[in-house]
């Protein structure tokens, strides 16, 4: 039986009935729901406590949902926070504006419980994987730590989303590693081991080196290799940017390693 981790979801809507209905749906999905009746209250709550996702209405009196979205994505502390825009409007320009500002999902109002569950589940799984970048990855000494100052920017968050495997409750949990632009990992011995050193054979090492080289041309890369201690795996690579101090960004790479059960 799959265990669902409880997350904290902020529901932002000036309509108290809509807000409470959506919050109840979130709670029925097994998560904790926080409520904000305005954009300003939402930003104040985000500054006070950690939240895993935001369900955000567009039309609000004090500050529009797009303004709130812009502030969330412009703040280093919250730029990787998944935001699902809720709107009853069919305005294509508005929807494109929301996506352009970094919204991860769009939900039509009235919010359908099944659709909310599916979209929220996918977004929270993505965030759970990204949060692994802030901790020691994997537990086998081959991971790296990502501090508060190294939060991914919004464009990197979207690139990582595209590289992540499709969520599947029956699949093994992917391992997420953060590398430098050359494919090296920060390891306890200080050597900066290359990702290819995880491969169990020369063919796997060559495939990883080639994929990392191709990554410099843009987009994402995917290869299947046999890794020591993990067996046959799918490795997905995505280029990202992390802060380098004084407003600068530096290139880095995220590797998502997905064990392929029953293969290899």
Most confident of 38-47, 96-105, 154-163, 238-247: 38-47
- Burial string for 7-20 (b: 16+ CB within 10 Å, else e) reads bebbbbbbeeebbe
Tokens of 240: 């990202």
Confidence bin at 261 (pLDDT 50/70/90): low
Sign of CA dihedral 127, 83, 161, 178: negative
> For residue 35, what pLDDT is reported?
97
Residues 178, 200: Cα–Cα separation, whole Å: 20
The pLDDT mean for the chain works out to 76
Give the range with max mean pLDDT: 47-56, 167-176, 181-190, 235-244.
Answer: 47-56
Residue 33 confidence (pLDDT) above 90: yes
Stronger pLDDT, 243 or 200, i.e. the higher one? 200
CATH 3.40.640.10 fits domain 8-127? no
The per-residue pLDDT for range 115-153, each reduced to its tens digit, is: 898 888 877 876 665 565 444 333 333 333 333 334 445
Greatest Cα-to-Cα distance within the chain, rounded to the nearest angstrom: 61
Q: How confident is the model at residue 185 (pLDDT cuts 50, 70, 90)?
A: confident
Cross-strand pairs, 75: none
pLDDT for position 172 = 54
What pLDDT, on the 0 to 100 scale, is given for residue 242?
A: 62
CB 64 within 8 A of CB 39: yes
Among the listed residues 34, 55, 53, 56, the one whose alpha carbon sits nearest the alpha carbon of residue 45? 34
Per-residue pLDDT reduced to its tens digit, 172-182: 555 667 788 88
pTM above 0.85, yes or no: no
The more confidently predicted of residues 230 and 10 is 10
- Band (264; pLDDT cuts 50, 70, 90): very low
> Where, residue-wise, is CATH 3.40.50.2300 in the chain?
8-127
pLDDT for 237 beyond 70: yes
Residue 24: pLDDT above 80?
A: yes
- Check residue 244 and give its pLDDT: 56
Handedness of CA 152, 230, 4, 166 (dihedral sign): positive
Please identify which residue in the block is written with the tokens 């929301």: 98
Residues of the chain with CATH 3.30.450: 135-259
Q: What is the pLDDT of residues 81-94, one digit of tens each?
A: 889 999 877 667 77
- % of the chain with per-residue pLDDT over 90: 30
Arch. (CATH architecture) of 135-259: 2-Layer Sandwich (3.30)
Look at residue 208 and tell me whether its pLDDT is greater than 90: yes
Whether the CB-CB separation of 221 and 236 falls below 8 Å is answered with yes
Sign of the Cα torsion 88, 99, 50, 43 reads negative
Region 192-219 average pLDDT: 87
């Amino acid at each position: 039986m799959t265990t669902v981790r409880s997350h904290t979801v902020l529901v932002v809507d000036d309509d108290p009935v809509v807000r409470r209905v959506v919050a109840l749906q979130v709670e029925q999905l097994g998560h904790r729901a926080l409520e904000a009746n305005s954009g300003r209250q939402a930003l104040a709550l985000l500054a006070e406590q950690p939240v895993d996702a935001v369900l955000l209405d567009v039309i609000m009196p004090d500050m529009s949902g797009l303004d709130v979205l812009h502030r969330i994505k412009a703040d280093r502390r919250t730029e990787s926070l998944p935001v699902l825009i809720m709107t009853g409007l069919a305005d294509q320009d508005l929807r494109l504006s929301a996506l352009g500002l970094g919204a991860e999902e769009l939900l039509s109002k009235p919010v359908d419980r099944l659709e909310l569950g599916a979209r929220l589940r996918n977004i929270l799984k993505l965030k759970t994987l990204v949060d692994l970048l802030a901790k020691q990855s994997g537990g086998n000494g081959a991971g790296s730590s990502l501090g508060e100052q190294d939060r991914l920017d919004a464009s990197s968050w979207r690139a990582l989303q595209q590289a992540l495997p499709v969520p599947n409750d029956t699949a093994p949990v992917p391992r997420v590693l953060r590398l430098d632009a050359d494919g090296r990992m920060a390891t306890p011995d200080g050597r900066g081991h290359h990702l290819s050193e995880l491969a169990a054979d020369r063919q796997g090492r060559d495939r990883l080196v080639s994929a990392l080289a191709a990554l410099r041309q843009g987009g994402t890369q995917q290869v299947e290799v046999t890794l020591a201690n993990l067996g046959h795996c799918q490795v997905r690579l995505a280029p990202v940017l992390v802060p380098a101090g004084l407003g600068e960004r530096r290139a880095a790479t995220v590797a998502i390693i997905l064990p392929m059960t029953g293969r290899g």
